[in-house]
Amino acid sequence: MNLLPEEFADLEPYAEKWCLGSERERYAERLASSMAEMQRFYDAITPRAEAALTYLDHIGLDDMPGDAINLLRLLYSMITVSFPVEVWNQPWIPDASEASMDCVIEPVP
């Protein structure tokens, strides 16, 4: 069973790991992932991000089907790994010791 819209079948290998429903889950997955894993995911989704946003723009948030919600969640995960990949070269925030992030309000869906 595919988790993503057919147009984004090339991203399906990343769907199970990165289509996560909450910021807390995405952050935990980031911390549990190697830089190589995050780099592969980032390299795969970044060139497809604009097409994904265009696809999602044509769907209302209130009637978004499950595969589109998963695509949106994949984009959220792309954002979550962007700083580790682009700037820090590590999953943790540099010089932040045991700091953690708790999102109190999240976007819906």
Per-residue pLDDT reduced to its tens digit, 33-49: 898 998 999 999 999 99
Residue type, 109: P
Q: Per residue in 6-39, pLDDT tens?
A: 999 999 999 999 999 888 898 888 888 898 998 9
pTM for the model: 0.82
pLDDT tens, position by position, 84-107: 776 766 665 655 555 666 656 666
Dihedral-angle region of residue 89 (phi above 0 means left; psi in -120 to 50 means alpha; beta otherwise): left
pLDDT score, position 36: 93
Residue 30 is predicted with a pLDDT of: 85
CA distance linking residue 74 with residue 45, whole number of Å: 8
Distance separating alpha carbons of residues 51 and 97, to the nearest angstrom: 37
Q: What is the percent of the chain where pLDDT is above 90?
A: 48
The predicted pLDDT at position 94 comes to 54
pLDDT: which is higher, 91 or 74: 74
Half-sphere exposure of 26 toward its Cβ, with a 13 Å CA cutoff?
A: 25
Q: Residue 2 is which amino acid? A: N
